[in-house]
Structure 1
């Protein structure tokens, strides 16, 4: 009866789905020579791929006969800052971070001494990525990476990640069942892709293996090593909150516009809480960041800001991590409250980017994300059209751009 049920169920499946799954099985089998060359044993390959099925519900896939599916809208790009950086959430994470700062004190001090990355920064990354390990990642990492390698939009990247994931399991760092991930395959307490594991992973607890899934010392040291490998500058803060002068030009808020912090202060920017900076701080190059245009807080961002941004390419992500790191040792929230109550939909931001491209103000990706370059281009258009200069994407400015010739 069971066999008859399986046959009947198979008969009811669409031919395309059955063909696709057969194709998936052949695709996985075809990877053996590459896996072998990468150091994966035959036993590991067979064990990891046994019974493996694709997950066609994942985002970012290119499936025959179906519309293209993009990556899901990340909160970093569709929420206003006040929603993404909820005070209650930040304070709750900071409170737990204080306990962990004490619990893992010797380890964190050793990490800071070896890598030059503050303990609070690696704690904040851990808190943001997996709620200090309390959040269980929802996906089977092997299934995710195999599916993305087969029908994803970034097949070549995930082909490599899938093979490296098998290698990690074969080396005994984590079990097949223990390798859980996000929908995009990031895994471990501090969310690494397998290639990042091999580039940045550190055995900090000295047990002979790099375990970013269960070993807090290994996971936090690996996060610190990744920041160092991306250019972390010891002794430099991630950013300074400032108050912008009334005549500030928000179109300067681009990564390539850098000035010594002292120069920004001479131009009228003022540390938000009146702190006095030393000579080294005043000489540090920084860029202006105004996440809500002329509304809400403003920041002078150092090189380390952009190093954290390579962990997740979002200004709000860096603000979350940086502010959480500060809050672990300083209970004060941002000096200036967030002001925006509405964020344009992704499709509207894309329309704005296309319009700004057509008018010659924007030459970057049309991705629906209102980042630093989009806001600066928007401000440049506002200046040319003699509109209010606020560098903030709104319905009224979108209408003006669409009507402009």
Structure 2
């Protein structure tokens, strides 16, 4: 059930990312407005998410998760009915904190199941998410071929989300060892924010996201507006990237049996710093194999730093979520900054800024298991 929640979340995100050119056209949005549509909800959500995460360390985790599922379903339904920028922002603003309550608390519960297997369980989580990222663009492409639009996909996923919420309400969650009030959790949060190892993992999570969610969010726009692919072709190309990411996450489960996660991630990030410029410079169809290689190499970019953050805060999975949300306050500004940059200097040169992600990973990953 916990992994099914992640699968649904990434199905929604994958389909939405592939549909961005269509959403931009239907709602008549500029790049700056599109960046605003994701940045404003991200900032609102990041302000609320620490409270939700801290509350998740208490006895009301189940209620928070179910309530989050209901609001998540509403957010996806409102997105399907969006007629302009304002309604799109409202829909996404509801979805951001709802995702924390619904999806992030499911992840925290998975981490609480086997504390000694956090890296492998996070790899399983990432693999499930990658499957959703792959299926999202494929579903969109199939629906487009049937003559339907992106709104039909969002509407159907809203129904699926509500159904899964009803099932989650009847399932059991792992017992929470620490049942602290939110006030005590705030103290834990402030203490953790002064720890160098925690700050390192937070920074690495945001850096790795440049080659994951941020790239995925702008990739369809890049392929349509710069490379001049059609929306359906761009959705399939996005499927190639996400399919390679899925394969990489599958292989990561095998790699982690014999190789330390941090060591693997440093090598793969170094490879990405070499491959990504080649992808941007390659002409037309030659980009596709390089795009697939990028997806393959980016595996572990989320699972390993997130497992490191959970490992730095044993027994406080809700606090780890809250801290991730604090880091997300900075990350929420990235789509806005990229959207504004694309509006000023065009999208093609703006894409080079994402190279900062793997560069920071190579230089910032810890040299020992403690993360210090």
Q: TM-score, normalised by structure 1?
A: 0.23
Structure (1 or 2) with the greater strand fraction: 1
Larger Rg: 1
Whose helix fraction is larger, Structure 1's or Structure 2's? 2
**TM-score between the two structures when normalised by the length of structure 2:** 0.24
